[in-house]
Structure formats: structure tokens, C-alpha cells
């Protein structure tokens, strides 16, 4: 079985025309797609579900409707608009890349694959998607959905990346390259799903090796997930005169550019209080005293599982300095929601603010 049968392309396109989902970033059939919207959607959809992205995408376009509007926005506003979507490097890179499009390309997304690939955060997949969908170029895409459909069609448990890209390159050649790419991704998302694909509704069933062999559920083979390393972190919630100390994480770090509470990974056998006080000295150059625990929050990132032990701390001596961060700020509790905080940090902030109010907030 293969994708070489000349019937496959027209079947995919006919199926796509009849079954494509109406998504806010998709242009109507026959209408030219807006490259900025297509690019934004592709960046937001990486590692993120369509239903999660939909409201973010719509809010984003109200806030930053064009390349030039986004290029002019400060990074803080951009991260705030991204807050909750995760993988924040996507937002930082997109902001930088759009800044370059504004400066070097007059605000028009370049339709030349090489120029587009040169922008920060643009990989092979994003380039293929934007070039084919927004510019009608015969550029291939391979994402998780495409990989699954192709692995099943050729009945291969673990197809090599280069095989997948060469299959995609062959398939995309011809009329409507953007729609062909989207048809395979759509098929993987809605019919050729990971478990129990709906082969009865599939337009390429008669070309599918896994369907013929009855091996759909074993193609592609699932990789065993390795257990993630664990970080046990102390988080001092340092208060003074109704304000709490927030730090801006270095742009190159995980969650770079986002605001957060200071934090330090606990050493073996180190108590939460001792670690929190050490964070004050090492990261901020201040002496703090740990008091009551606030909460314990768990969060799983792509490469690490983190446990945050938040503990209320008071300032004993010194003025905080951004020794390990880009910035520090004393922020009134009621202003904290206006800062771009990652999900786990927002949870800590909400619980800490709640217990501050419950115990009687100090006068501002």
C-alpha cells in the first residue's frame, strides 16, 4: 500500500470539502487565507488542542489584529495574552519573528520559504503549513496526525521521519497544496484518531495497509513514556505592606519573560523553610524569615514534573535585587492578576491572596 495511487489526492480533497471543520483561522473555500492568521493558528496549535486554542485565537486577533499591531506591543502584553496556553517560548519567538517581519518585510509575512524559515521559532512543520495554506506553495507538512495516517496507510509501526517527509512531499504536489495538507491533518484529527479509528468513514480506506491487515490500533506503535525527572521547589511568598514580591524570569529560562514568585530547588534533606530563606539570599540578596505554609501545587511540564511548596515569608533585611532574574517588583495583591503568570504560579497567587484576605490583609 502507498500514497502513490493517483486516486488518493482527489479523494482526500473531496472528503475535505465535505467534512472540514469550520475553524476561526480557516478561510472560506476559495478565499485567500490571511498569512498572519494562519501562522498564529499554527503556533498556537502546537502541543495544544483546537478547542483550547479557539478562544485564545479570537481574543488575540481583537488585541493584535495585524503584524504591525503585534510588533508594536510590549512583550509583557503578549505574554499576558498567551497566559494559560503554556509553552511560552512560542509566544516569545512569535513576537520576535513578527517584529522582524515588521522591520524587514514591511509588515507582510514573506511568502518565500527560505525567508520565512529564517524567522525565529519557524521550523519545518510551521513553514510547510504557512507556505502551503497561505501561499499555495507545494511545501509538505508532517505533524502527529499526518504521522499516524501515513503509518497506517503504509502499515509501518515506526516509520522514519525522512520517509514521512518524502511521502508528504510527494502528496502535496499538484493543485490545492494547502487543502491537501489540511485534509490529511483533518483526517488524523477527526477520523484516523489514535484509538479505534473510524475506518468506515475514511476516504482512503481502500489504499490503507493497516485497514487491510487489521493493525490500525498498533500503527504507529506507542512509545513508552519515560518517567519525568522531578523538581521539588520552595517558593517564598514574600509580603511587605500589602504587596507581594514578584520576579520576572530570565528570557532564556523555562517560562522566560513570565512573572512568578521567586523559587529555588530544594537540596536533599533541606526543609521548605530553609530552602525558601536560601532563595531570598541567593536569588534576591535579602534576608527573609519563613512562616506558615501556603499550599503545595503540582505541575507537569514537557520534560519535568514540578512540586511547588509555597511558604509565606517576611522581609528581615535588605532590598531585593534581581540577582537571578530579569526584574523584581513589589505588587499589590489586587494587581497580581494583571501580570503574566504561568498556570501553577497563578494557582499559588490565588491561594496566597485568599489566605491573606482571610487572615486580614495589612493596610496598603
- Where do contacts with ligand SF4 occur on this chain (CB under 6 A)? 149, 152-153, 191-192, 197, 199, 202, 204-205, 208, 210-211, 216
Determine if residue 190 is left, alpha or beta; phi over 0 gives left, psi from -120 to 50 gives alpha, anything else beta.
Answer: alpha
Smallest distance, Å, CB 213 to ligand SF4?
10
Closest to ligand SF4 by CB, 198 or 335: 198
Closest to ligand SF4 by CB, 147 or 248: 147
In 141-176, alpha helices (H): 144-153, 161-172
Smallest distance, Å, CB 153 to ligand SF4?
6
Q: Judging by beta carbons within 10 Å of its beta carbon (0-12, 13-18, 19+), is residue 198 exposed, middle or buried?
A: exposed
Reading the block at residue 92, the C-alpha cell is 516569545
Reading the block at residue 83, the C-alpha cell is 497566559
What DSSP character marks residue 281? I
Closest to ligand SF4 by CB, 71 or 187: 187
> Which residues sit opposite 95 in a β-bridge?
none
Smallest distance, Å, CB 41 to ligand SF4?
24
Reading the block at residue 329, the C-alpha cell is 517588583
Q: How far is CA 120 from CA 84, 202, 284, in A?
A: 22, 37, 32
Smallest distance, Å, CB 197 to ligand SF4?
4
CA–CA dist 133, 331 (Å, integer): 44
Point out the catalytic residue in the list 7, 31, 42, 287. Answer: 42
Beta strands in the chain (DSSP E): 230-240, 243-248, 259-260, 264-265, 287-300, 305-317, 327-332
Closest to ligand SF4 by CB, 210 or 336: 210
Smallest distance, Å, CB 138 to ligand SF4?
22
Is 327 in the active site? Answer: no
Closest to ligand SF4 by CB, 19 or 205: 205
Annotated active-site positions, please?
Answer: 42
Amino acid at each position: 500500500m502507498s500514497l502513490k495511487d493517483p486516486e488518493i489526492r482527489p479523494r482526500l480533497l473531496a472528503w475535505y470539502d465535505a467534512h472540514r471543520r469550520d475553524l476561526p483561522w480557516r478561510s472560506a473555500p476559495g478565499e485567500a487565507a490571511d498569512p498572519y492568521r494562519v501562522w498564529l493558528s499554527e503556533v498556537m496549535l502546537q502541543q495544544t488542542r483546537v478547542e483550547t486554542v479557539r478562544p485564545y485565537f479570537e481574543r488575540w486577533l481583537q488585541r493584535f489584529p495585524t503584524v504591525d499591531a503585534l510588533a508594536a506591543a510590549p512583550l509583557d502584553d503578549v505574554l499576558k495574552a498567551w497566559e494559560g496556553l503554556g509553552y511560552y517560548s512560542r509566544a516569545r519567538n512569535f513576537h520576535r519573528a513578527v517584529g522582524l517581519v515588521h522591520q524587514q518585510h514591511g509588515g507582510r509575512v514573506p511568502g518565500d520559504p527560505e525567508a520565512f524559515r529564517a524567522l525565529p521559532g519557524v521550523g519545518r512543520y510551521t513553514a510547510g503549513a504557512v507556505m502551503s495554506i497561505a501561499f499555495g506553495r507545494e511545501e509538505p507538512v508532517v505533524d502527529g496526525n499526518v504521522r499516524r495516517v501515513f503509518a497506517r496507510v503504509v502499515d509501518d509501526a515506526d516509520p522514519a521521519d525522512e520517509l514521512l517527509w518524502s511521502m508528504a512531499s510527494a502528496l502535496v504536489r499538484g493543485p490545492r497544496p494547502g487543502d491537501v495538507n489540511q485534509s490529511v491533518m483533518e483526517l488524523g484529527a477527526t477520523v484516523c484518531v489514535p484509538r479505534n479509528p473510524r475506518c468506515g468513514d475514511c476516504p482512503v480506506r481502500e489504499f490503507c495497509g493497516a485497514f487491510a491487515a487489521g493493525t490500525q490500533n498498533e500503527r504507529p506503535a506507542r512509545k513508552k513514556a519515560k518517567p519525568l525527572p522531578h523538581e521539588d521547589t520552595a517558593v517564598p511568598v514574600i509580603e511587605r505592606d500589602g504587596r507581594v514580591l514578584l520576579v520576572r524570569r530570565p528570557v532564556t529560562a523555562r517560562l522566560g519573560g513570565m512573572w512568578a514568585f521567586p523559587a529555588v530547588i530544594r537540596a536533599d534533606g533541606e526543609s521548605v523553610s530553609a530552602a525558601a530563606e536560601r532563595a531570598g539570599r541567593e536569588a534576591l540578596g535579602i534576608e527573609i524569615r519563613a512562616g506558615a505554609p501556603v499550599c503545595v501545587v503540582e505541575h507537569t511540564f514537557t520534560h519535568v514534573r514540578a512540586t511547588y511548596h509555597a511558604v509565606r515569608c517576611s522581609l528581615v533585611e535588605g532590598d531585593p535585587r534581581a540577582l537571578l532574574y530579569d526584574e523584581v517588583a513589589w505588587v499589590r495583591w489586587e494587581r497580581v492578576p494583571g501580570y503574566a503568570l504561568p498556570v501553577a504560579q497563578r494557582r499559588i497567587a490565588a491561594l496566597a491572596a485568599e489566605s491573606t484576605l482571610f487572615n486580614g490583609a495589612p493596610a496598603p
